[in-house]
Amino acid sequence: MSSGKRAVKATSFAWAEAPDIRSVHQALVRAYGVRKRPARRRTPEPLLDVLIRTVLSQNTTDALSERAYRQLRQRFSRWSEVLSATQQEVEGAIRVGGLARVRAQHIRDILQRVADARGVQRVCGHEDLSLEHLQAWSTPDVMQALTQHRGVGQKTAACVVLFGLRRDDVFPVDTHIHRVAQRLGWLGTGVAREDTQAALNEAVPDALKYALHLLLIAHGKRVCRARTPRCAECVLAPLGCRWYATADKVDAADIEGVGDGRRGQMSRKRRRSGGTER
């Protein structure tokens, strides 16, 4: 895709003045540093591990999901043992991450489908369930296979491809990227997250997908937050951010309590001083 003003052509809701993708990438690199893939490990993390880890990361913090995964692996050293355990035992192992009942069921369903389809294979020197056969599959086939599992949507499947298979032909869109993309004007506020992922997967050059995925998440967490975006500190605002340009024309430093789809509000300090929106 050429770097024009309209960043995403796949939707009619894109804002004409939205900054182009390469400019956003460059600005985020200046703010947060270069993001490069780590060197390939001598013993790569098995794909099934990556999938379960990603399922546990849904709708929770990185710290809690990592604790949940670590406790799950401490309790069950092999995935086949999870299938032999009770639902309650699996829930107890991952409870710290939240939504333990639903996630335990999803994990057990995934493992059961893997067992039914492939059985036990040799993985990292021992017998266990495995998804390593996906290494030889095309990305569309991998995406289709993974999204057949309960609890695995387009974002989770794309994360397995991007991080587990180390391929740069997918662009996972989480809640932070979805929010930033909408506020920039790449897509309209009514566009669903999976549609945003499809559009950005086409629009973002493969060479930028790994880095831009991480950079947009960092920006969404630190600056372009859901309820209190820190517009005055945003390196993307000068590039033509729709949210910054149209949020009631209030000074960026005065915008507070703003969530997705909400309009800017004056700060208490500004209201007490008799200030008006302009």
Check: CB of residue 246 under 8 Å from CB of residue 267: no
**Whether 9 is catalytic:** no
Mean pLDDT value of segment 47-64: 96
pLDDT on residue 254: 37
Mean pLDDT value of segment 152-173: 98
C-alpha distance from residue 19 to each of 7, 28, 96, 221 (Å): 7, 13, 40, 20
Q: Is the confidence at residue 277, as pLDDT, over 60?
A: no
How far is it, in rounded angstroms, from Cα 75 to Cα 10?
A: 46
Amino acid occupying residue 195? D
Predicted confidence (pLDDT) per residue in 197-209, tens digit: 999 999 999 999 9
CATH entry 3.40.50.10800 includes domain 1-33+170-278:
no
Residue 128: strand pairing partners: 121
Give the alpha-carbon dihedral of 99, 102, 103, 107, to 10 degrees.
Answer: 170
How far is it, in rounded angstroms, from Cα 82 to Cα 189?
A: 41
Check: CB of residue 217 under 8 Å from CB of residue 177: yes
Give the alpha-carbon dihedral of 148, 149, 154, 159, to 10 degrees.
Answer: -130
Q: Is the confidence at residue 245, as pLDDT, over 70?
A: yes
- Residue 15 confidence class, pLDDT cut points 50, 70, 90: confident
pLDDT on residue 27: 98
Question: Is-same-fold flag (1-33+170-278; 47-164)?
Answer: no
- Residue 18 confidence class, pLDDT cut points 50, 70, 90: confident
The H or E element spanning position 47 is helix 47-56
Mean pLDDT value of segment 39-63: 94
What residue ranges do the domains of the chain occupy?
1-33+170-278, 47-164
Mean pLDDT value of segment 129-156: 96
- Residue 14 confidence class, pLDDT cut points 50, 70, 90: low
Out of 3.30.1490.100, 3.30.420.40, 3.10.290.10, 1.10.340.30, which CATH number does the structure's domain 47-164 have?
Answer: 1.10.340.30
Q: Is the confidence at residue 250, as pLDDT, over 50?
A: no
Mean pLDDT value of segment 18-30: 96
Amino acid occupying residue 62? D
Q: Residue 189, Cβ neighbours under 10 Å: how many?
A: 13
Burial 27-39 (b: 16+ CB within 10 A, else e): bbeebbeebeeee
Q: Is the confidence at residue 28, as pLDDT, over 60?
A: yes
pLDDT on residue 268: 34
Q: pTM of this prediction?
A: 0.82
pLDDT on residue 275: 35
Task: Tell me which of 5, 9, 36, 155 is the catalytic residue.
Answer: 155
Q: Which two tokens stand for residue 39?
A: 């060197």
Q: How many CA atoms lie within 13 A of 185 on its CB side?
A: 21
